[in-house]
């Protein structure tokens, strides 16, 4: 049944370079924190001598294999998209593509990103059975009470049976992932996000002196607190005549913001610019005096870092909800936290607006230099390499231990997953026979 045998990497091999495949439903041309993380991490690893291949589903106008100028090779696979930019869960249908890419590219480590990504979890499932070492980065926080979270947590628990090491982007995220998945905490690493500080630089000349601009940049979804934002906007506009909103992003809750804008006759004060390519988001951030994040849950907010690096706010001039790993992102003098309630967000925003009017702000380049000193993709890449070194030295799980691990996750669900493992192994044998016949 074995597709390929991969023995533990000997000690003299630790400093060698690896052939790595990164997989997620979220990648360019889509925009977001996960997309940015994968791109910059992969770019930095290429510069350090590793061979990187990225796998995602197709996007409009992008199918097949693409090469980027920085040496990245991307597979845009033609899978059907179901919801929220994720492919339809099918498991067996992704096996031929996974097997071909892993063997054709001679992949040693598969690195999946995001627990919301179907493609990432399915490729991790296949790679482990083929014999490739697997690493998973969890970018999100989830609850435990509602049915959607319970189902998602159970799927994550079963997916991580096929994982060697897990990376979380904050300490809060690590606690959340360990609780959700029952994954051994000693095999979970905390490596925060970083950003390209050479791109996100200040430009104070872009700000309007007569207006205070509040910038929001995120996916317009429930998890990002858009329902809170829809109630905050009219109250702030009524209380402060010199405040405008600039909203960058798109999503299913955009229509709610448009309804609020229309009903309050705020067309001149609330601009919804839609989805902005990541390489142009700086042009929006430098327009702002205040950056607002209203997320209901957040493991690590990349856009807060990008806004800080642009020097768009002083001490107290970034407002974010006190959730998840957000308090870990910036020092206390660069961020003001609010409770997850409309009243508290409005109250905190009012105080920050008054600070802006009084001109109490830090020098933008000083803020930028502080961010440069705190967050570096080179440092993230070095720490990720350490995780890869640990992963490749793990003994490969026997099929018996994989079945036993699944059965330990619950009788009925465990049996179901064991059936999927068995079918996957049969399909691998079938594909191998087909290859032998062709040869």
Q: What is the pLDDT of residues 12-23, one digit of tens each?
A: 344 578 999 999
* Chain segment 29-57, per-residue pLDDT in tens: 887 778 889 999 999 999 999 999 999 99
Q: Is residue 322 part of a domain?
A: yes
Same domain assignment for residues 234 and 338: yes
* Chain segment 145-154, per-residue pLDDT in tens: 778 788 888 8
Q: Is residue 152 part of a domain?
A: yes
What Rg, from alpha-carbon coordinates, does the chain have? Answer: 23
Same domain assignment for residues 427 and 358: no
Q: Is residue 3 part of a domain?
A: no
- 314: pLDDT strictly greater than 80: no
* Chain segment 103-146, per-residue pLDDT in tens: 999 999 999 999 889 999 999 999 999 999 999 999 888 877 77
User: Which is nearest to 114 in space by CA: 156, 154, 78?
Assistant: 156
Task: Pick 13 or 161 by higher pLDDT.
Answer: 161
Q: Are 295 and 320 in contact (CB under 8 A)?
A: yes
Among all chains, which residue has been given the structure tokens 């091999």? 13
In this prediction, residue 207 has a pLDDT band, given cuts at 50, 70 and 90, of: low
The overall average pLDDT reported for the chain is 87
Please tell me the total count of domains within the chain.
2
Q: Is residue 141 part of a domain?
A: yes
Average pLDDT over every residue of 422-437: 90
Same domain assignment for residues 56 and 127: yes
Task: Pick 251 or 31 by higher pLDDT.
Answer: 251
Average pLDDT over every residue of 1-27: 65
pLDDT of residue 424: 94
- 61: pLDDT strictly greater than 90: no
In this prediction, residue 332 has a pLDDT band, given cuts at 50, 70 and 90, of: confident
> Model pTM?
0.81
Q: Are 75 and 59 in contact (CB under 8 A)?
A: no
Q: Is residue 84 part of a domain?
A: yes
Percent of the chain with pLDDT over 70: 92
| Domain end position, chosen among 375, 399, 423 | 375
Same domain assignment for residues 368 and 401: no
Q: Is residue 45 part of a domain?
A: yes
Same domain assignment for residues 259 and 289: yes
- 28: pLDDT strictly greater than 50: yes
pLDDT of residue 162: 95
Average pLDDT over every residue of 189-211: 80
Among all chains, which residue has been given the structure tokens 């990504």? 117
- 85 in the Ramachandran plot: left (φ > 0), alpha (ψ -120 to 50) or beta? left
Same domain assignment for residues 96 and 166: yes
pLDDT of residue 25: 92
* Chain segment 337-378, per-residue pLDDT in tens: 999 999 999 999 999 898 888 876 667 788 888 888 888 899
Q: Check which CATH number belongs to the domain holding 141 and give it.
A: 3.40.50.2000
Whole-number Å distance between alpha carbons of 236 and 287: 18
Domain of 75? 17-194+378-438
- 1: pLDDT strictly greater than 50: no
- Beta bridge partners, 64, equal 76
């Amino acid at each position: 049944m074995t597709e390929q045998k991969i023995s533990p990497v000997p000690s003299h091999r630790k400093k060698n370079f690896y052939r790595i495949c990164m997989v997620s439903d979220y990648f360019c041309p889509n925009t977001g924190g996960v997309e940015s993380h994968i791109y910059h991490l992969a770019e930095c690893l290429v510069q350090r001598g590793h061979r990187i291949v990225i796998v995602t589903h197709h996007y409009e106008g992008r199918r097949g294999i693409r090469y980027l100028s920085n040496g990245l090779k991307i597979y845009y696979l033609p899978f059907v998209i179901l919801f929220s930019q994720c492919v339809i869960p099918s498991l067996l249908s992704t096996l031929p593509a996974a097997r071909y890419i892993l063997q054709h590219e001679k992949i040693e480590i598969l690195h999946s990103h995001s627990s919301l990504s179907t493609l990432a979890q399915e490729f991790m499932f296949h790679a482990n059975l083929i014999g490739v070492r697997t690493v998973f980065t969890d970018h999100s926080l989830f609850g435990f009470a509602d049915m959607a979270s319970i189902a998602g947590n159970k799927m994550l628990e079963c997916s991580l049976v096929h994982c060697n090491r897990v990376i979380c982007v904050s300490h809060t995220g690590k606690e959340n992932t360990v609780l959700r998945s029952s994954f051994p905490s000693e095999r979970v690493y905390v490596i925060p996000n970083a950003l390209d500080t050479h791109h996100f630089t200040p430009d104070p000349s872009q700000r309007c002196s007569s207006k205070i601009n509040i910038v929001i940049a995120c996916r317009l979804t429930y998890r990002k607190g858009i329902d809170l934002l829809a109630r905050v906007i009219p109250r702030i506009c009524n209380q402060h005549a010199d405040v405008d909103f600039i909203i960058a992003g798109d999503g299913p809750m955009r229509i709610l913001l448009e309804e609020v804008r229309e009903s309050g006759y705020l067309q001149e004060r609330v601009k919804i610019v839609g989805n902005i390519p990541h390489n142009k988001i700086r042009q929006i951030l430098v327009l702002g005096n205040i950056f607002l994040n209203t997320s209901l849950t957040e493991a690590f907010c990349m856009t807060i870092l990008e806004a800080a690096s642009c020097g768009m706010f002083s001490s107290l001039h970034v407002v974010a909800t006190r959730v998840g790993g957000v308090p870990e992102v910036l020092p206390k003098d660069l961020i003001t936290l609010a409770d997850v309630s409309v009243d508290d967000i409005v109250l905190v925003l009012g105080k920050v607006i008054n600070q802006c009017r009084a001109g109490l702000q830090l020098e933008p380049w000083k803020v930028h230099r502080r961010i440069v000193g705190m967050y570096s993709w080179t440092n993230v890449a070095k720490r990720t390499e350490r995780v890869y070194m640990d992963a490749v030295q793990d003994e490969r799980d026997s099929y018996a231990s994989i079945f036993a691990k699944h059965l330990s996750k619950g009788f009925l669900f465990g049996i179901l997953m064991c059936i999927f493992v068995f079918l996957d192994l049969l399909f691998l044998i079938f594909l191998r026979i087909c290859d032998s016949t062709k040869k």
